Structure 1
Amino acid sequence: MSANSNDAASTVSSDNSPATGPRRRGILGSLREFGPGIIAVLAMMGAGDLVTASVSGSNYGYNLMWLLAASLLIRFVIVNIMGRYQVLNLKNQSIMEGYRDVARWYPWAIGIAAVISGHLLNGYMVRGAGEALAEIFTVGDPFLWSCILVVASIFVICKNVYKTIESIMKLLLAMMTVVFLGLAIYSVPDVGEIVRGTVGFGIPDNTGAIGVFAVALSLIGAVAGSMANFLYPYYVRDKGWRGVGFKKLQRNDILFGISSAIVISLSIWVVGAEILRPNGIEVTNLDDISQALSIHLGAVGGVIFYLGAFGILYSSVVGFANGFPKIIVDCLHIIRPARRERYGDHFEDDPSFKWFSLFILISPIIWAFPGMPGFVTMAVFVTGLQAVVVPLVAIGLLILANKKSHFGEHKANLFENIILVLTTLLTIWVTIQVVIGWF
């Protein structure tokens, strides 16, 4: 698959401006062209959003809703700048080459973080997806279904066909949106409470099975700070969008993806606040969420939830196994330039891509063994751990996004710079609160 494959209607001239841009199309035509944002956002969402949104809603009602809104805004700013860099940077670089220009140790740090994050993130995605399939089919145990899921996924990711993955993700997005939005509408949410929780900036009492600051850190890590944010510029690269003619399409693409995430995350939160919380159910595993739905909708309610849960989890399994190796191989090529000269700019041509992909897909099966940490506990811990890299990512992006030598007139604006600075400060503050809570 070439980096400029698919339906990119552009060739790039020597000054990095497109000879032609994407063909003008109506709304439906633009929706058909969208893809990188859908793939990246569904991979980013995963269990982190499913668990932290439901835990927050069930434990704290709408009191932390402002943090969800802030996190999604942060994600849009970070990921949009990364995508814009891929489309418009004056040096025709990948995002990781840009970070290398900020500091030479960045490819080492982010490459190692990508290997660890890919393994841990897919660890609870595979476990949770196995649990969902076991509940849907009512035969076999979750570990067996996790193994079946991994084996089946090998045939998807080893094709390295962008279009195939894009089609799968669009189907899963449609299914998830219908399932979770339908459940949220069924619960008849209190719109006034949603508004107050979104603009109130309140910190509720530290109640529930999981501490409020741990939940807050997990929410920031799941939504704003995940290493998965780096996936988007690589999917933009695969799509072949390059040059100023694609600037608007790229922005609308990630805006559509983030908007979809808002609908799904808000819907999951509403289910937690309106269905789980009134029934006194604290979320410690997937079955806790389906239990409340079964009370209201019978057995079909549980099945409906598990279908949505499987969609949100499996989209991440595929997205991570295909996306994280791109980041890792790019870092490897920057550290070892001779390897890029040997295999070229097409990451999938490097044999290490296949091995990293298989590692990120297969090694997480160890977390599905009986007796390993519970799905929800692992999800909150790992997504919270992701938030630790937020300052590293945000500070590097803040410097890169303001390099006129790289970005030219498209460098970060005042609003984007403010968001990046506040993101770093917010994450450091919440992390300190978590550490204080440990002692």
Structure 2
Amino acid sequence: MSESSAVSHSPNPRSTRRSPAPQAEETSTATGPRRNKFLRMVGLMGPAFIVGAWQFGPGNLVSAVQAGSRFYYSLIWVIALSTVLMLMFADMSIRVGVMSRGSVVETIKETLGRVTGVVAGLGVFTITLMFSVGNAVGSGLGLSLVLGGSPVWWTLGCSALVAVIVFARQAYKVIEKIVLAIVATMAVSFIATAIITRPDWGDAAAGLLPTVPSGVGLLLVALVGTNFSLNAAFYAGYASRERGLRREQYRETTIADTIPGIVAPGIMTALVIAAAAAVLGGTGGEEGATIAQFSGVLEPLAGEVGRVIFALGFTGAALSAMIANATAGGTLLSDGLGWGNRLSSRSVKLGVLGVLAFGATVTVLAQGTSPVQLIIIAQALTVIVAPMLGVLLVILANNRRLMGDLRNRWWQNAVAGVGFVAILATCYQLVVTTF
């Protein structure tokens, strides 16, 4: 009997084998939009991860290892607070970038005057020079832990590699893909490190309660300067414009990119502090433990794999931060001077080379100096320019004519106020510690 005959003679056609067909079609139709939405969300990832990669560099890791080795879990609250503040200011910068006709610096020039815009661009460029030292030292140190050899030569090689990446065709898209891959590698490395070292998670949770241990000094400044990085937040607006994000994409971008891109470095930093507390707690002394000591301690716990896992994460942090930092420095310098702000422009690329050359040169000249202390000092000095950048972002984000319905709400301004208090307190701590 044919299928058509069966259908024609059936007293209830709905009971035949044909009936599931519409349901299957409905399921397929339903899964299509879900798959498309997922792919669209993944496609929005990028700008905030570049900002997070800039923030999560070797200076961040060195500071975290020292925090854990000297003060156990008691400074994890600094990372939690800094991450919340970083998220708030990065979101402000992205909103400004989405709603502005020009770049962030161009908008500052139109709103607050040309001099203010030039000072902002030069200020961020100065910070990138400070970061470039830590990134250069860290890239060489990380690769020497994995492959051996002189850290200085590895630094020069990494600087050349980043220069090649920046000069590639469609450089921004290449940078985004590389940074996303490195961040994923780092996440695996530091989660594995935390599992290997078996921290006391109860004590780690207690570290979320604010306390300021005696003798924390410059380390507290470095932790805030690297985890609440206003210069990186400032660049978020440029990254969003380089990507071409539109107003209607803002909400989805916040969920797919801004929140995970900023929160992920905070979680990884907290994991490093917890791991260092478990392995080196109380052994760091006044100077704290070094990265080499930390990776060496992991070796007895997990063999050669333990050392390599952490070293790869550290190297990834240095490389991704070097790429993002140099890109931001060249962009902000060129834009501040009115020479353009697209990564494809010659003036921006020359600025990028300047940042890379500065970091490599200081690394070569500072041979014999403790790389850890060099990184800590360089990171701490970045907080000097930060208050100005924060003020400018808040002013722009509250401009009703510029921002429309995306202007700051009262609670966002309240959180920004907490951020200013934190930055000013760290500046005071820097002055007291230095002088």
TM-score, length-scaled by structure 2: 0.85
Map 1:127-206 → 2, pairs under 5 A: 127-138=137-148, 140-159=149-168, 160-198=170-208, 200-206=209-215
Aligned to 1:3: none
Aligned to 1:363: 358
Aligned to 1:230: 234
Aligned to 2:322: 317
Map 1:27-426 → 2, pairs under 5 A: 27=38, 29-89=40-100, 92-100=101-109, 101-138=111-148, 140-159=149-168, 160-198=170-208, 200-206=209-215, 212-243=216-247, 245-252=248-255, 253-277=257-281, 283-333=288-338, 339=339, 346=342, 348-349=344-345, 351-369=346-364, 371=367, 373-426=369-422
Larger Rg: 2
CA contact (8 A) 1:87 1:246 kept: no
CA contact (8 A) 2:133 2:375 kept: no
What is the distance in 1 between the residues matched to 2:267 and 2:234? 22
Residue 348 of structure 1 aligns to a residue whose secondary structure is coil
CA contact (8 A) 1:226 1:383 kept: no
Kindly state the Cα deviation for residue 99 of structure 1 after the two structures are TM-superposed.
2.5
Aligned to 1:9: none
Unaligned 5+ residue runs, structure 1? 1-22, 207-211, 334-338
Residue 105 of structure 1 aligns to a residue whose secondary structure is helix
Residue 155 of structure 1 aligns to a residue whose secondary structure is helix
Residue 205 of structure 1 aligns to a residue whose secondary structure is coil
Whichever residue aligns with residue 333 of structure 2, its letter is: I
Deviations 1:222-245 (A, max 9, x none): 1113422222211111111122x1
What is the distance in 1 between the residues matched to 2:112 and 2:368? 40
What is the distance in 2 between the residues matched to 1:391 and 1:154? 30
Whichever residue aligns with residue 67 of structure 1, its letter is: V
What is the distance in 1 between the residues matched to 2:274 and 2:182? 21
Aligned to 1:20: none
Deviations 1:54-79 (A, max 9, x none): 21111111212111111111100001
CA contact (8 A) 1:124 1:378 kept: yes
Kindly state the Cα deviation for residue 31 of structure 1 after the two structures are TM-superposed.
2.3
CA contact (8 A) 1:330 1:347 kept: no
Whichever residue aligns with residue 296 of structure 1, its letter is: L
CA contact (8 A) 2:218 2:433 kept: no
1:432 maps onto 2:435 in alignment:
no
Residue 246 of structure 2 aligns to a residue whose secondary structure is coil
TM-score, length-scaled by structure 1: 0.85
Whichever residue aligns with residue 246 of structure 1, its letter is: Q
Deviations 1:11-32 (A, max 9, x none): xxxxxxxxxxxx9943454124
CA contact (8 A) 1:46 1:315 kept: yes
What is the distance in 1 between the residues matched to 2:195 and 2:176? 28
Kindly state the Cα deviation for residue 157 of structure 1 after the two structures are TM-superposed.
0.8
Kindly state the Cα deviation for residue 408 of structure 1 after the two structures are TM-superposed.
1.3
What is the distance in 2 between the residues matched to 1:110 and 1:372? 34
CA contact (8 A) 2:108 2:117 kept: yes
Aligned to 1:209: none
CA contact (8 A) 1:125 1:314 kept: yes
Kindly state the Cα deviation for residue 255 of structure 1 after the two structures are TM-superposed.
0.5
Residue 57 of structure 2 aligns to a residue whose secondary structure is helix
Distance 1:437 1:280, change over 3 A: closer
What is the distance in 1 between the residues matched to 2:406 and 2:134? 38
Whichever residue aligns with residue 297 of structure 2, its letter is: A
CA contact (8 A) 1:102 1:400 kept: no
CA contact (8 A) 2:394 2:413 kept: yes
Kindly state the Cα deviation for residue 294 of structure 1 after the two structures are TM-superposed.
2.0
Kindly state the Cα deviation for residue 113 of structure 1 after the two structures are TM-superposed.
2.2
Distance 1:24 1:251, change over 3 A: farther
Distance 1:390 1:66, change over 3 A: same
